[in-house]
Amino acid sequence: MEGILALFKPAGLTSHDCVFKLRKILKTKKVGHTGTLDPDVTGVLPICIGKATKVAEYITDAGKAYEGEVTIGFSTTTEDASGDIVEQKQLDRTINREEIMKVLESLTGEIEQTPPMYSAVKVGGVRLYEYARKGIEVERPTRKVNIYSIDLLDDRNEFSGETIQFRFRVSCSKGTYIRTLAVMIGEALGYPAHMSKLTRIQSASFELKDCFTFDEIEQFMVAGKIEEILKPLESALSHLPKLLINDTVAEKVKNGALLKIPEHLKTSNGPIIAETTEGLALAIYSKHPNKPELLKPVKVLRNEIV
């Protein structure tokens, strides 16, 4: 079995829980997820199976999109709805739409974030959530992330009450904490806040419309039709630049040959896919560190291709 399965992750399970459950359903051990989603978060979780596990990192590294809800009025230990209240401040004024739009605009582009204590980021070789569970606060490194766009989804012009909620859609780079973004939105408005709901609507090229639930996957498996819902590993690489190669070069690629950089790829700095004219990805290349005119293989994907 080989391919990528777009899972609709339900609330209440970790990404690892999802992998464990799918190993049982699919009756195979070679299953891997493409980046951690918090238990409360639902939505798109691409799962790599068989040889497709080789490309999991390229889905993880791609951009993501989410739809969520921010609650203004109190913050929590986990920055989401599952945590204990840390700070509470009732709203003493009406917040208008224009003010929220200005805050969202100010958070668009490259921003700095400090990962929440309840996160998988490692400090001193230990994950932050392990410190947090022991009540230990440690200094966390800030990181730069890119917010490509944030849209306000509520059409109200005014928001009032002791606490307020509004929905948003965000498109962002890998490593972005939407929980922390919700807190930052609240801070900019002058109030403690947290992320009260979140659904991932896109991961790399995979969208909600591509996803299947556990029940649906099990039904396809029982019917012997699981291959019908598996996408080829190439679907994980569709956002990356391609180097088309002929059959002669393909034989060299499967043996890890260096390749000359074509003119149209000289400005590319990330991974490049060596692909046949039939659309099969053979290998992932990057620029050679010592020979700027050449590409070196990072990972051979299909060495059985001739």
The pTM of the full predicted model, rounded to 2 decimals, is 0.88
Are 204 and 104 in contact, with CB atoms under 8 Å apart?
Answer: no
Same domain, 246 and 229: no
Q: What is the pLDDT of residue 114?
A: 82
Same domain, 74 and 186: yes
Is residue 38 annotated as a catalytic residue, yes or no? yes
**C-alpha to C-alpha distance for 306 and 295, rounded to whole angstroms:** 20
Among the candidates 142, 168, 196, a domain finishes at: 196
Same domain, 264 and 230: no
Same domain, 186 and 101: yes
Among the candidates 166, 196, 226, a domain finishes at: 196
Q: What is the mean pLDDT of residues 3-18?
A: 94
Domain that includes residue 282, residue range: 240-300
Range in 131-135, 193-197, 279-283 with the lowest mean pLDDT: 131-135
- Does residue 166 belong to any structural domain of this protein? yes
Judge whether residue 144 has pLDDT over 90.
yes
Same domain, 73 and 145: yes
Range in 134-143, 166-175, 234-243 with the lowest mean pLDDT: 134-143
- Does residue 96 belong to any structural domain of this protein? yes
Q: What is the pLDDT of residue 41?
A: 94
- Does residue 306 belong to any structural domain of this protein? no
Same domain, 41 and 29: yes
- Does residue 266 belong to any structural domain of this protein? yes
Judge whether residue 305 has pLDDT over 50.
no
- Considering the candidates 17, 38, 61, 155, report the single residue annotated as catalytic: 38
Label residues 45-70 b or e (16+ Cβ within 10 Å = b).
Answer: bbbbbbebbbbbbbbbbbebbbbbbb
Q: What is the mean pLDDT of residues 108-130?
A: 81
Judge whether residue 119 has pLDDT over 90.
no
Element spanning 12, H or E? none
Q: What is the pLDDT of residue 90?
A: 93
AA letter at 237: L
Express each pLDDT in 73-105 by its tens digit: 999 988 999 889 989 999 999 999 999 999 999
- Does residue 305 belong to any structural domain of this protein? no
Q: What is the pLDDT of residue 227?
A: 94
Mean pLDDT, all residues of the chain: 91
- Does residue 71 belong to any structural domain of this protein? yes
* Residue length of the chain: 306
Express each pLDDT in 179-220 by its tens digit: 999 999 999 999 999 999 999 999 999 999 999 999 999 999
Percent above pLDDT 90 for the chain: 65
Q: What is the mean pLDDT of residues 220-245?
A: 93
Contacts of 30 (CB under 8 A, 6+ apart): 49, 50, 53
- Does residue 40 belong to any structural domain of this protein? yes
Judge whether residue 304 has pLDDT over 80.
no
Among the candidates 215, 235, 255, a domain finishes at: 235
Same domain, 279 and 169: no
Same domain, 228 and 249: no
Same domain, 276 and 231: no
Same domain, 217 and 97: no
Same domain, 86 and 126: yes
Q: What is the pLDDT of residue 125?
A: 81
Range in 135-144, 173-182, 294-303 with the lowest mean pLDDT: 135-144
Judge whether residue 306 has pLDDT over 60.
no
Express each pLDDT in 53-69 by its tens digit: 999 999 988 899 999 99
Q: What is the mean pLDDT of residues 124-147?
A: 83
For residue 231, give the CATH number of its domain. Answer: 3.30.2350.10
Express each pLDDT in 17-66 by its tens digit: 999 999 999 999 999 888 888 899 999 999 999 989 999 999 988 899 99
Label residues 223-246 b or e (16+ Cβ within 10 Å = b).
Answer: eeebeebbbebbbbbeebebbebe
**C-alpha to C-alpha distance for 257 and 249, rounded to whole angstroms:** 9
Same domain, 79 and 174: yes
For residue 269, give the CATH number of its domain. Answer: 2.30.130.10
Q: How many distinct structural domains can be found in the chain?
A: 3
Angle at 29 between CA 27 and CA 31, to 5 degrees: 105
